Structure 1
């Protein structure tokens, strides 16, 4: 039995279906990310797991218990909100121990738990301060400490970093990941930030308009997106989507790419047989920016790599890399190259395409073909 099991869960408000049959299961100690754009239903699903909202149909299990009809206090969960929800008139120590006091945990045990939690989160020096004396990151740590003190079966995080500035978000993301590694807790974490999803999660559930688009590990979802939405949502910069026609090529199949004065037919290395039915038809050729990089003289190319000479439209230096925009089949295509090899706009550049990770989509249904 998994730590959390969500089976065909649906939610409707006034005959409007918000969640449309969600199926997810994670094991004890796993870190699950619910990710998707605003309005996709991820926070609604978290509220239903927490017991703050009811289930229209389906089943939610925490451990071996069906919790559909249990109140939040009986579900053995702890929740961390983006608003921190700290008591302003209480010290950090009192905020962390408040839930323990309500449950009539002995004072000596409370002190032991608070000290252990403070040490885990490296905030022993903050215990006697009030929330108004803390930074945003420190307040978030206190909110996490209050949840940890409960020692629940399941931690629920509702966009906990969205109120923090960019630098602090990165720091807190690292702290949450280290905390998870140290404690081995089971976590469900809601975010709209795909970078948070990729860096934190053991499993990711990508949602859109109340439907689960794909469920898997971060690498599975990044390398093998189920559809155009998942491919575009996960990854920064986003995957390139190039309209292309399928052609026969030396007994196999490939796609024609026109850029500037040059035209190429690149083989469908990992999807050859599945494109047979698409010969002469339009597909969407998907390739990520890091799979298009600079050509280097004297460096032998693997069999799955092809080179194209393409005009540069725009460059965007990022520090460690430079993003180069080139035209292919009427679309601007982003390539990730070493700054020393980037050419200026108006110049032509030799670029290597790693076709082993290329993917193909049906332009009508937006589903993955191969």
Structure 2
């Protein structure tokens, strides 16, 4: 196992294009770090720099306290699993897994033991004599993981390993990778553009945009307390609702003016009035997760706060099985809520929704940073 420290790291290509702009990340031995963001945010470049496949323009990358900027990939004691599997088509599964062991001149008897151990762990013992062309995508990804495991490195690097798989197989392999981490306890750095993978796999998540880490923290912390509009909208499926409106004084507190197309009202907010007083009378953006807007049958008011009732006109419904997504207009913008299927929402009909603002967040529409 090994800790990882990324200190003020910059990457600029020879044509002058900046890719990473001062990245700082620290994880402990055995943690599972997710680098997540859209295409071109710099996450794969950062992974390649950890691996030694890209040079660092400025800053330091340290593995287990040792700066590795000038170390070659083979001297960093890491193993990488690629999106494309990168298996040798002419070799059997056994030969692919043991390829790195051969290069390092590991004795044949020991190689055999390692291949048996790894194949048992990944449940691919019956595939050892097949070639990659005879395997499914999920089986090939297991072989690629097996080749990495055979090295017994201090750190694993995964570069979007599941993006070529179908939805069902992605879910299965996600569980396999998580189980693998629980068994081995080895440090993992994992790149993905899929925020569901990020939430389900990681101990720590770095949400990236334009070469900058927008937020770094535990999955639930990022989900509940996003630092800005980008993070709030990127993490979560369906994403967080953003309700534009005017912040007004409401008794001793504050509220947001609402227009649902059925009625005008004020949504009471839980924020300290003294902390947001500078924004009273101004437009703000209220962030509210879909599961916080629901129907009476689905609501679970176990926190002692009052659920606020507002009537909307239903635009569209999307049944998902365990719940139904209801889309409606609030302040001229479409929002989505999660309701119980038994609520039987109907398009073009009015419906009473309950708003739970206990986990609401408030953003400045100009800076897009969180206010409260």
Match of 2:350 among 337, 348, 351: 348
> Residue deviations 1:209-268, cap 9 Å, x none?
101000001100000000000000001111111111111111111111111231221222
Residue 313 in 1 paired to residue 315 in 2?
A: yes
The alpha-carbon distance between structure 1 residues 122 and 284, as it changes in their structure 2 partners (threshold 3 A), is same
Give the structure 2 partner of residue 30 of structure 1: 31
Greater displacement, 5-14 / 311-320: 311-320
Contact 2:254 2:271 in 1 (8 A): no
Give the structure 1 partner of residue 95 of structure 2: 94
The alpha-carbon distance between structure 1 residues 297 and 212, as it changes in their structure 2 partners (threshold 3 A), is closer
Give the structure 2 partner of residue 364 of structure 1: 366
Structural mapping, 1:71-220, within 5 Å: 71-220=72-221
> Residue deviations 1:98-152, cap 9 Å, x none?
1011101111111111111011111111111111111110000000000001011
Contact 2:2 2:30 in 1 (8 A): no
Shift in Å at residue 65 of structure 1?
Answer: 1.1
Give the structure 2 partner of residue 322 of structure 1: 324
Give the structure 2 partner of residue 332 of structure 1: 334
The alpha-carbon distance between structure 1 residues 159 and 300, as it changes in their structure 2 partners (threshold 3 A), is closer
Structural mapping, 1:6-85, within 5 Å: 6-13=6-13, 14-85=15-86
Q: How many residues align?
A: 370
> Residue deviations 1:32-81, cap 9 Å, x none?
00000000000000000000000000000011210000000000100000
State the distance in 2 between where 1:359 and 1:262 align.
23
Give the structure 1 partner of residue 4 of structure 2: 4
Q: Secondary structure at the match of 2:358?
A: helix
State the distance in 2 between where 1:84 and 1:300 align.
47
Shift in Å at residue 350 of structure 1?
Answer: 1.1
Shift in Å at residue 2 of structure 1?
Answer: 6.4
Contact 1:295 1:307 in 2 (8 A): no
Q: Secondary structure at the match of 1:356?
A: coil
Contact 2:293 2:338 in 1 (8 A): yes
State the distance in 1 between where 2:268 and 2:174 align.
40
Q: Which runs of 5+ in 2 are unaligned?
A: none
Q: Secondary structure at the match of 1:181?
A: helix
Shift in Å at residue 304 of structure 1?
Answer: 3.7
The alpha-carbon distance between structure 1 residues 159 and 250, as it changes in their structure 2 partners (threshold 3 A), is same
Structural mapping, 1:280-291, within 5 Å: 280-291=281-292
State the distance in 2 between where 1:303 and 1:249 align.
16
Shift in Å at residue 300 of structure 1?
Answer: 7.3
Shift in Å at residue 361 of structure 1?
Answer: 0.4
Q: Secondary structure at the match of 2:149?
A: helix
State the distance in 2 between where 1:270 and 1:124 align.
57
Shift in Å at residue 307 of structure 1?
Answer: 1.0
State the distance in 2 between where 1:129 and 1:303 align.
60
> Residue deviations 1:298-344, cap 9 Å, x none?
99784242111111111111111111111111111101101110321
State the distance in 1 between where 2:142 and 2:123 align.
9
Q: Which runs of 5+ in 1 are unaligned?
A: none
TM-score by length of 2: 0.97
State the distance in 1 between where 2:293 and 2:300 align.
15
Structural mapping, 1:258-273, within 5 Å: 258-273=259-274
Shift in Å at residue 296 of structure 1?
Answer: 4.3
Q: Secondary structure at the match of 2:275?
A: helix
TM-score by length of 1: 0.97
State the distance in 1 between where 2:130 and 2:356 align.
55
The alpha-carbon distance between structure 1 residues 296 and 175, as it changes in their structure 2 partners (threshold 3 A), is closer
